[in-house]
Chain A
Amino acid sequence: MIHLDSAIPDGPIEEKWDQHKFEMKLVAPHNRRRFEVIVVGTGLAGAAAAATLGELGYKVKAFTFHDSPRRAHSIAAQGGINAAKNYRGDGDSVYRLFYDTVKGGDFRAREANVYRLAQLSVDIIDQCVALGVPFAREYGGLLDTRSFGGAQVSRTFYARGQTGQQLLLGAYSALCRQIEAGTVQIFPRSEMLELVVKDGRAAGIVVRNLHTGQITSHSAHAVMLCTGGYGNVFYLSTNAKASNATAIWRAHRKGAAFANPCFTQIHPTCIPASDEFQSKLTLMSESLRNDGRIWVPMEFDDPRPPNQIPENERDYYLERRYPAFGNLVPRDVASRAAKLEVDKGRGVGPLKNGVYLDFKTGIERLGRHGIEERYGNLFEMYERITGEDPYQVPMRIYPAVHYTMGGLWVDYNLMSTIPGLFVAGEANFSDHGANRLGASALMQGLADGYFVLPYTVPNYLAGMLGQPAVPTDDPVFRAAEAEVADRTKKYLSIGGTRSVDDLHRELGKILWDNCGMARSKEGLEKAISEIAALRVEFDRDLRVLGSDDTLNQSLEKAGRVDDFFELAGLLCRDALHREESCGGHFRVEHQSEDGEAQRNDDHFAYAAAWEYAGPGAEPVLNKEPLTFDHVHLAQRSYK
């Protein structure tokens, strides 16, 4: 069993972080260059951490499997970033952001971490504005905000529908400054395929150059994984096509506990699939729910086009069921409600697989220009994909896998159960509990990268002063390199008949059908055995053509999907063991009469941290109990 020490500092919650910052050890400026650190992934968390640690004087190596750090999937985040600035004077505060996030996460997050996140949110906005992020502004020149789901204050800062892009480009620019200054060495097109652990500590990584196939080792005093989430395990998701879990899964296999894998977020507003060739699903920002109203026809299988259905024959079901929050209920609630309507037979569109998101009243209120100003690029994107003009006809939307709250278990310092291995951003499990509120992912990624790791990593390094990093000719590195090479060769040598995508699509369907928006004991058990059977098929019948010494995209995918198979099994096991419904995890056995999720705080108020027990072996469950001293456990109500 792993010992889970959350390392939460003592003291009142408001003072924990400040006190901890004082108590943590420092590294003097002249000693910093003696420490080498590795950052894997260059999205918001990774780019911010690499740039900041570089500027502090550490020797940083940053790895990305993209051709440039600017391509990281953080770039696709649309809606905005939360911060408790209270610029609107509408009653916001650090405490309220903390409260909303714990409640929105359905009481499955660690209070101390969330409080720190809310505190840091205000610094993030300052930092980003100073970096030149062109946030939306009012005519007076001050920063504008908008509302997001799960909150009754307007605290979301945004840059049209491209907030993630602008924040990432800000972090990327800071990273570029350090690359030019020589404090950060960047390795593009380098995919981490193994974590190296020596004497129980993270010692480095093994990467494969995606252009040449060359396998190399890199050692360091500390390793940070900022490699994003695992939503693509479902095949169809809003994640970028190459987003994957390989870095965190490889670390998991080396001893890092994986927490709450079943906490996956299904985002309510995505464009429904149009056919079986669909390669990914496209998100339409949650911010649209500010001015769009969600409805379905009252009639079952209503054949009329939406504009011919009169007002009194429409069911604005979110406004009806949740009058207080209306269309702005949290994502998990909105998604389940949409599924319920479609399952009842009130779905719309050619495949009857969507609900309407209607901007008619928004356009009447704000004018076409007002809507264009707020959502122009989203409307354009919708039109490109569907061929329909959302200024004229309502959008059709349906939930899709979007974000994963689960990830590698980390303590308050964002260190995993392997000393020296830190995990930040979506890759860790820390701040969102069982459901993430909109506009909080960007906040967490940047908080971790700019303001948490630059304090906690030096605290770890300080204890290693004078110790050189493990040399890369050490046998542990040689063994890890050999393992990577063997895996690569294995995929090329199977010589079966099925492509990686074909197998991945089938895996995704098993998961979506049984471990998606509604989960049952029966379905999960079925999924576990089907996944195992498909994995055998993968090992026997995979076809990867080409060689390992040039760019080979099928080969890259094979390794990622191989890891997804194992992760999918763990996801289902976690969902099966958690006999309650909370946030994004909905067990049909645990719901109230009106279909609301029923938590079981007596038995499941803990983070489930799974320990890898070897190939094919049942993973070992470790529990970190969660206590709620400030936000009292209560059934969430958005009515």
Chain B
Amino acid sequence: MNTLDLKLRIWRQAGPSSTGAMVEYDVPGVSEDMSFLEMLDLLNERLIAQGQEPVAFEHDCREGICGSCGLMINGQAHGPQLGTATCQLHMRKFSSGDVIEIEPWRAAAFPVVRDLVVNRSALDRIIEAGGYISVTPGAAPEANIIPVPKTVADAAFDAAACIGCGACVAACPNGAAQLFTAAKIAHLNLLPQGQAERYSRTEAMVERMEEYFGSCTLHGECEASCPKRISLENIVIMNGDYVRAKFRNRRLAGRR
């Protein structure tokens, strides 16, 4: 088994209102088969043995799907491997002697809770504004009554694959959440089932997003950092629908 000797520089912050700092740790003897988070587990076990408080970091499924984990690794959201969440990153991508800087997501909308843990609930607020199709259980029609072309279903799926980790926001120099918001809007707006609320949804979600997050200047960092490879094209869909929504919703408002 190959092992690595690493130097970590980790952001430590005791609480939301404390000042934080980068703290250096030597971590020898890391197996290359470990995941990045298992490497942090190892560090934490050693810290506990020394009587030091372990590093707080978010994680849960460790299968790249729950979206809990998310670390800024050497300035890259989720680290160096494209299309990979932090938990799926393995130490064989690093070399012995590497210095690895680990920071929390940094964005105005994501306040630090402790160490590497941030509060991402602003993302939930966006979905609450309109990221749904209104269906009462019991009211749904037979599932096969509306055929959905495979290409449309596939495109909707590609957008729906978002895990809500917030890497796009963290990677964006403006702290914008356009990719996250657009992924949900595109998922629902592409499907026939999502048409009835298409424009009200778009307007509500975009405007909720603007309350919390920065503006998009199309850097494309979000797409590059996305562990699910959500495409920038979704932002085009969102912007188009937003413009249409502004006209349409105004016209409809006049009728009410």
Interface residues of A, Cβ cutoff 8 Å to B: 48, 52, 55, 66-71, 73, 75-76, 85, 87, 123, 125-132, 134-143, 159-160, 162, 164-166, 169, 172-174, 176-177, 179-180, 186, 188, 211, 240-242, 274-275, 277-280, 282-283, 380-381, 384-385, 387, 450-451, 454, 497, 499, 501-502, 543, 545-546, 550-554
Cβ–Cβ contact B54 & A554, under 8 A: yes
Q: Chain B residues with Cβ under 8 A from A169's Cβ?
A: 160
Cβ–Cβ contact A450 & B143, under 8 A: no
Cβ–Cβ contact A545 & B121, under 8 A: no
Cβ–Cβ contact A67 & B135, under 8 A: no
Cβ–Cβ contact B38 & A278, under 8 A: yes
Cβ–Cβ contact B62 & A282, under 8 A: yes
| C-alpha gap A164/B61 in the complex (Å) | 13
Cβ–Cβ contact A279 & B61, under 8 A: no
Interface string of B35-57 (1 = CB under 8 A from A): 10110011011001101111010
Q: Chain A residues with Cβ under 8 A from B194's Cβ?
A: 132
- Nearest CB in chain B: distance from A530 CB, A: 22
Tell me whether A277 and B34 are in contact in the complex, defined as CB-CB below 8 angstroms, given that A138-B150, A550-B114 are known contacts: yes
| C-alpha gap A352/B92 in the complex (Å) | 21
Question: Which single member of B44, B120, B147, B154 contacts A67 (CB below 8 Å)?
Answer: B120
| C-alpha gap A69/B146 in the complex (Å) | 29
Cβ–Cβ contact B135 & A130, under 8 A: yes
In chain B, positions 134-161 with a C-beta closer than 8 Å to chain A are 134-144, 146-150, 153-154, 156-157, 160-161
CB-based closest 4 A-B pairs: A141-B147, A173-B132, A130-B140, A134-B157
A sample of 17 inter-chain contacts (CB < 8 A) reads A68-B123, A69-B124, A76-B65, A127-B137, A130-B135, A132-B132, A132-B194, A134-B153, A137-B150, A141-B150, A172-B127, A176-B131, A240-B60, A451-B138, A499-B45, A499-B48, A545-B54
Closest residue of chain A to B37, judged by CB? A279
- Nearest CB in chain A: distance from B78 CB, A: 12
Closest residue of chain A to B46, judged by CB? A499
Q: Chain A residues with Cβ under 8 A from B15's Cβ?
A: 550-551
Closest residue of chain A to B15, judged by CB? A550
Q: Chain B residues with Cβ under 8 A from A283's Cβ?
A: 63
- Nearest CB in chain A: distance from B114 CB, A: 4
Cβ–Cβ contact B61 & A75, under 8 A: yes
| C-alpha gap A554/B35 in the complex (Å) | 20
Q: Chain B residues with Cβ under 8 A from A274's Cβ?
A: 31, 33
Cβ–Cβ contact A280 & B56, under 8 A: no
Cβ–Cβ contact B65 & A75, under 8 A: yes
Closest residue of chain B to A449, judged by CB? B137
Q: Chain A residues with Cβ under 8 A from B84's Cβ?
A: 384
Closest residue of chain B to A282, judged by CB? B63
Q: Chain B residues with Cβ under 8 A from A55's Cβ?
A: 136-137
Tell me whether A180 and B137 are in contact in the complex, defined as CB-CB below 8 angstroms, given that A277-B42, A279-B37 are known contacts: no
- Nearest CB in chain A: distance from B31 CB, A: 5
In chain B, positions 5-30 with a C-beta closer than 8 Å to chain A are 14-15
Tell me whether A68 and B140 are in contact in the complex, defined as CB-CB below 8 angstroms, given that A76-B66, A160-B157, A173-B127 are known contacts: no
| C-alpha gap A566/B137 in the complex (Å) | 39
| C-alpha gap A451/B140 in the complex (Å) | 12
Q: Chain A residues with Cβ under 8 A from B117's Cβ?
A: 551
Cβ–Cβ contact A176 & B90, under 8 A: no
Interface string of B111-124 (1 = CB under 8 A from A): 00110010111011
- Nearest CB in chain B: distance from A134 CB, A: 4
| C-alpha gap A506/B189 in the complex (Å) | 50
Q: Chain B residues with Cβ under 8 A from A67's Cβ?
A: 58, 68, 119-121
Cβ–Cβ contact B123 & A134, under 8 A: no
| C-alpha gap A140/B151 in the complex (Å) | 10
